[in-house]
């Protein structure tokens, strides 16, 4: 009797476990089925490497190269800006707040702030970006391009705004993962370094951070994933025209293109949007494979 | 009913409040029941019609068509209405060769098409307002100046006699009906150089209101005090000017039939009756369109 219940329970768990696998499988198949036809119809070189996006023209062109490039540059920029801030915050949390009472208080406030930062919905980031960041950016843009007749003024909705918003949005991920990986570095390693006469700063940058390397990289990769997949906030601050991704150009990213054009699109335009989704999906799959590999490598190092 | 009114106005002292309320609610209930029965009878008569109405044509009319179809099919449960959004020309073509009952077009029916027996029935007018930031000193643009701005040839308001402020050209995303209409009416299809492409009317309003030097376009019905509505060739974007045909950025929404409406099947006639009813008119107005005279 007991055996049968155990068995049944086992099957129930198996079924629930399969839901995730089936979902991923179904999504992958769906994206491929929906995304590949347009790839065939338009042609891979024209679609992936074309730079003209005019899906509703009488002679439509479906080039998404600038859009892919904008996503890559935007994500890279956000990581470049967000990761140093995140890792240094993590160092502050782990190594500078334990000694004094006030330090511990700052640490608890900071941790709470980071938690809250992670919980803020992306549309709020977008709203603040739109109402506060964009006007500031426009002032900067006017100052930099004063008297320039070639530049198209974007009103502050540009790649740089998107990067800044994304950088703030990936901060919690980077800080949390970095903090726990720095904490995981054995105390003996720090003590050994200090005992050899290294200063605290030297210990952190030469010993602790290198020892926590694989964990820090995991944080970076997760940050990349978050930045790449963000749509709502970016849609509100990036301008949305297809352009070369330069800091003061209005840009369209893979995610924002899907969000903004899906509702009214039809025919081949819609099919191409599915291909855009497929490209985004493949990027994310790639990032995740990288993550899995790094985690394995990290485990091996620790063994 | 007279008694009830009297009692409410001059309450009898002998009856207590509770009784009165009971009586009142009984009367209300009865009248509600009566009204619903009458309405039910009416609906039953109309529901005798059954069959299918087919429409094809303009993609710009999708929003209003969907809304009308939903309202119509709720009222006439046995009638199915289907619409294909193939484009104005293709819709009138299908109508001419008899494959659909009604051809939708977001432009006037051309003479060549009228020769094939198509009759133009304007069901609504679509107006687009050009808006800019409130501090803009330029209040009036010619069609040519507007074209120049959207083509990216005019980049500063000072070129148009305004202050030295860069023009931030804001528009809608690919596939938007408003963008389609704007570019078509202005003759700048596929030639616009947008600084921002936003995906909703609200976003365009908000950005134009917040960005000095910005210019944008939206449906006429959403314009409010947060932005400056520009005159075009000296004409204000108002419902009156559109009805009078004086404002340039407007187009008719046509549901063309082959032959007059009176020559159509009962089903099609019921459809047009519905469009002309208060219910139909409300739906058309709610989608931001102007009713023709």
More confident residue, B202 or A168: A168
Q: Which domain holds residue A135?
A: 70-302
Q: How many CB atoms lie within 10 A of CB B245?
A: 10
Q: Chain A contacts of B195, Cβ < 8 Å?
A: 152-155, 157, 239, 241, 250
In the predicted structure, residue A66 carries a pLDDT above the cut 60: yes
pLDDT for res A1: 62
Whether residue A147 is contained in a domain is answered as yes
Whether residue A148 is contained in a domain is answered as yes
Burial class (CB in 10 A: 0-12, 13-18, 19+), B193: middle
Closest B-chain CA to A153:
B168
CB spacing of A155 vs B193 below 8 angstroms: no
More confident residue, A265 or B289: B289
- Selected for mutation to probe chain A from B168, B191, B213 (highest A CB count within 10 Å) is B168
In the predicted model, what is the mean pLDDT of residues B134-158? 93
CB spacing of A252 vs B85 below 8 angstroms: no
More confident residue, A32 or B88: A32
Minimum distance, in Å, between the CA of residue A282 and any CA atom of chain B = 24
Instruction: Tell me the CATH number at A236.
Output: 1.10.3720.10
Per-residue pLDDT reduced to its tens digit, B167-186: 999 999 887 878 888 998 99
3-state secondary structure of B40: helix
Compute the distance between CA of residue A251 and CA of residue B195 in angstroms, rounded to an integer: 9
Whether residue A204 is contained in a domain is answered as yes
In the predicted model, what is the mean pLDDT of residues A246-263? 91
pLDDT for res B228: 95
Counted across chains A and B, CB pairs separated by less than 8 A come out at 93
In the predicted structure, residue B41 carries a pLDDT above the cut 50: no
- Percent of chain B past pLDDT 70, that is, above it, reads 84
Whether residue A57 is contained in a domain is answered as no
Q: How many CB atoms lie within 10 A of CB B6?
A: 11
Whether residue A63 is contained in a domain is answered as no
Q: A10 touching B, CB under 8 A?
A: no
Give the ipTM of the model, two decimals please. Answer: 0.82
- Range of lowest pLDDT (A283-297, B9-23, B67-81, B90-104): B9-23
CB spacing of A264 vs B170 below 8 angstroms: no
Q: Chain B contacts of A251, Cβ < 8 Å?
A: none
Per-residue pLDDT reduced to its tens digit, A193-206: 999 999 999 999 99
In the predicted model, what is the mean pLDDT of residues A79-106? 91
pLDDT for res A127: 92
pLDDT for res B44: 42
Residue at token pair 């369209």: A252
pLDDT for res B16: 53
In the predicted model, what is the mean pLDDT of residues A51-66? 90
Whether residue A231 is contained in a domain is answered as yes
In the predicted structure, residue B201 carries a pLDDT above the cut 90: no
Minimum distance, in Å, between the CA of residue A259 and any CA atom of chain B = 8
3-state secondary structure of B9: helix
In the predicted model, what is the mean pLDDT of residues B263-285? 93
Nearest C-alpha neighbor of B174 from the set A14, A260, A85: A260
pLDDT for res B60: 79
pLDDT for res A303: 53
Whether residue A296 is contained in a domain is answered as yes
Q: What predicted TM-score, i.e. pTM, was given to this entire model?
A: 0.78
CB spacing of B174 vs A265 below 8 angstroms: yes
Closest B-chain CA to A239:
B196
- Selected for mutation to probe chain A from B66, B133, B159, B174 (highest A CB count within 10 Å) is B174
Whether residue A220 is contained in a domain is answered as yes
In the predicted structure, residue B17 carries a pLDDT above the cut 60: no
Q: For chain A, how many structural domains are there in total? A: 1
**Residues in chain B, overall count:** 293
Closest A-chain CA to B177:
A264
């Amino acid at each position: 009797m007991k055996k049968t219940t155990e068995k049944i329970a086992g099957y129930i768990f198996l079924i629930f476990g399969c839901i995730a696998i089936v979902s991923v499988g179904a999504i992958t198949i769906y994206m491929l089925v929906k995304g590949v036809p347009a790839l065939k119809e338009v042609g891979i070189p024209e679609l992936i490497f074309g730079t003209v996006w005019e899906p509703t023209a009488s002679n439509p062109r479906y080039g998404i190269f600038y859009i892919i490039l904008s996503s890559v540059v935007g994500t890279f920029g956000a990581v470049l800006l967000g990761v140093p801030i995140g890792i240094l915050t993590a160092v502050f949390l782990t190594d500078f707040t334990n000694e004094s009472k006030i330090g511990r208080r700052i640490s608890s406030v900071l941790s709470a702030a980071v938690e809250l930062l992670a919980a803020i919905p992306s549309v709020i980031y977008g709203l603040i970006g739109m109402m506060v960041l964009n006007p500031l950016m426009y002032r900067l843009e006017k100052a930099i391009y004063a008297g320039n007749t070639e530049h198209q003024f974007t009103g502050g909705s540009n790649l740089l705004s998107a990067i800044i918003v994304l950088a703030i949005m990936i901060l919690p991920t980077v800080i949390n993962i970095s903090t726990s990986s720095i904490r995981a570095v054995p105390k003996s390693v720090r003590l050994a370094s200090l005992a050899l006469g290294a200063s605290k700063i030297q210990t952190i940058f030469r010993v602790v951070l290198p020892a926590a390397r694989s964990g820090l990289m995991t944080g970076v990769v997760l940050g990349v994933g978050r930045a790449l997949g963000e749509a709502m906030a970016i849609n509100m601050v990036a301008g949305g025209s297809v352009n070369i991704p330069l800091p003061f150009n209005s840009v369209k990213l893979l995610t924002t293109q899907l969000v903004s054009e899906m509702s009214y699109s039809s025919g081949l335009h819609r099919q191409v949007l599915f291909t855009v989704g497929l490209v985004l999906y493949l990027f994310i799959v790639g990032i995740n494979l990288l993550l899995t590999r790094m985690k394995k490598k990290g485990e091996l190092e620790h063994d | 009913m007279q008694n009830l009114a009297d009692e409410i106005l001059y309450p009898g002292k002998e009856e207590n409040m509770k009784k009165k309320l009971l009586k009142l609610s009984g009367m209300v209930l009865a009248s509600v029941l009566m009204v619903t029965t009458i309405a039910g009878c009416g609906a039953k008569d109309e529901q005798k019609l059954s069959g299918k109405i087919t429409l094809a044509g303009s993609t710009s009319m999708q929003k209003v068509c969907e809304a009308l179809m939903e309202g119509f099919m709720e009222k006439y449960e046995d009638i199915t209405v289907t619409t294909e959004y193939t484009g104005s020309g293709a819709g009138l073509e299908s109508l001419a060769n008899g494959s659909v009952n009604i051809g939708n077009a977001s432009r006037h029916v051309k003479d060549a098409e009228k020769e094939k027996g198509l009759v133009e029935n304007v069901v609504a007018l679509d107006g687009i307002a050009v808006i800019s930031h409130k501090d803009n000193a330029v209040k009036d643009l010619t069609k040519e100046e507007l074209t120049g701005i959207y083509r990216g040839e005019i980049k500063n308001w000072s070129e148009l006699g305004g202050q030295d402020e860069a023009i931030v050209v804001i528009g809608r995303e690919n596939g938007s009906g408003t963008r389609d209409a704007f570019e078509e009416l202005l003759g700048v299809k596929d030639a616009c150089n947008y600084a921002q492409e936003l995906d909703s009317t609200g976003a365009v309003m908000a950005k134009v209101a917040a960005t000095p030097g910005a210019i944008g376009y939206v449906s006429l019905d959403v314009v409010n005090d947060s932005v400056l509505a520009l005159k075009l060739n000296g004409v204000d974007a108002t419902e009156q000017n559109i009805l009078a045909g004086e404002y340039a950025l407007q187009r008719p929404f046509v549901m063309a039939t082959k032959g007059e409406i009176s020559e159509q099947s009962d089903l099609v006639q019921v459809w047009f009756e519905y469009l002309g009813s208060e219910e139909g008119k409300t739906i058309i107005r709610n989608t931001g369109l102007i009713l023709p005279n």
